[in-house]
Structure 1
Amino acid sequence: MLELVKAGGWPMLPLLLLSAVALAIIVERFWALRRKAVLPPGLGAEVRAWAARGTLDPAHIESLRGTSPLGALLAAALDVRNRPREEIRERVEDVGRHVAHRMERYLNALGTIAAAGPLLGLFGTVVGMIQMFLGVMDHGVGDVSQLAGGIGKALVCAAAGMVVAVPALMFHRHFRARIDGHIVQMEHEAIALMDVIDPRNRRGAQVQAPVQG
Structure 2
Amino acid sequence: MFELIQAGGWVMWPIVLSSVAALAIIGERFWSLQRKHVCPPNLVGQVQQWLARNELDDAHITLVRDSSPLGRILAAGLVNRRHDREIIKEALEDTGRHVSPDLERYLRTLGTIAAISPFLGLLGTVLGMIQMFSGIGTHGVGDPSIVAAGIAQALITTAAGLAVAIPAVMFYRYFRGKVNELLLDMEQEALKLVEILHGEREKD
TM-score, structure 2 as length reference: 0.94
Point out the more displaced range, 48-57 or 67-76. Answer: 48-57
Letter of the structure 1 residue corresponding to residue 34 of structure 2: R
Q: Deviations over 1:100-154 (max 9, x none)?
A: 1111111110000000100111111111111111101101122211111101100
State the partner residue of 2:172: 172
SS at match of 2:67: coil
Point out the more displaced range, 72-81 or 37-46. Answer: 37-46
Name the CA distance, whole Å, in 2 between partners of 1:52 and 1:94.
26
Name the CA distance, whole Å, in 2 between partners of 1:193 and 1:86.
13
State the partner residue of 2:69: 69
Name the CA distance, whole Å, in 1 between partners of 2:119 and 2:107.
19
The answer to whether the 8 A contact 1:52-1:196 is kept is no
Q: Deviations over 1:65-112 (max 9, x none)?
A: 000011111111101111111111111111111111111111110000
Name the CA distance, whole Å, in 2 between partners of 1:118 and 1:54.
59
State the partner residue of 1:6: 6
Q: Does structure 1 residue 128 correspond to structure 2 residue 124?
A: no
- What aligned pairs does 1:20-169 form with structure 2 within 5 A after superposition? 20-169=20-169
Name the CA distance, whole Å, in 2 between partners of 1:53 and 1:84.
22
State the partner residue of 1:186: 186
Q: Deviations over 1:2-39 (max 9, x none)?
A: 22212111110000011111111111111111111112
Letter of the structure 2 residue corresponding to residue 49 of structure 1: Q
Point out the more displaced range, 37-46 or 73-82. Answer: 37-46
Name the CA distance, whole Å, in 2 between partners of 1:56 and 1:132.
74
Point out the more displaced range, 151-160 or 56-65. Answer: 56-65
The answer to whether the 8 A contact 1:80-1:88 is kept is yes
Name the CA distance, whole Å, in 1 between partners of 2:6 and 2:146.
15
State the partner residue of 2:15: 15
Point out the more displaced range, 27-36 or 49-58. Answer: 49-58
Structure 1: unaligned runs, 5 residues or longer: 206-213
Matched pairs, number = 201
Letter of the structure 1 residue corresponding to residue 117 of structure 2: G
Q: CA deviation at 1:59?
A: 1.8
Name the CA distance, whole Å, in 2 between partners of 1:101 and 1:45.
26
Q: Could you say what the CA RMSD is over the residues aligned between the two structures, in angstroms?
A: 1.4
Name the CA distance, whole Å, in 2 between partners of 1:53 and 1:165.
54
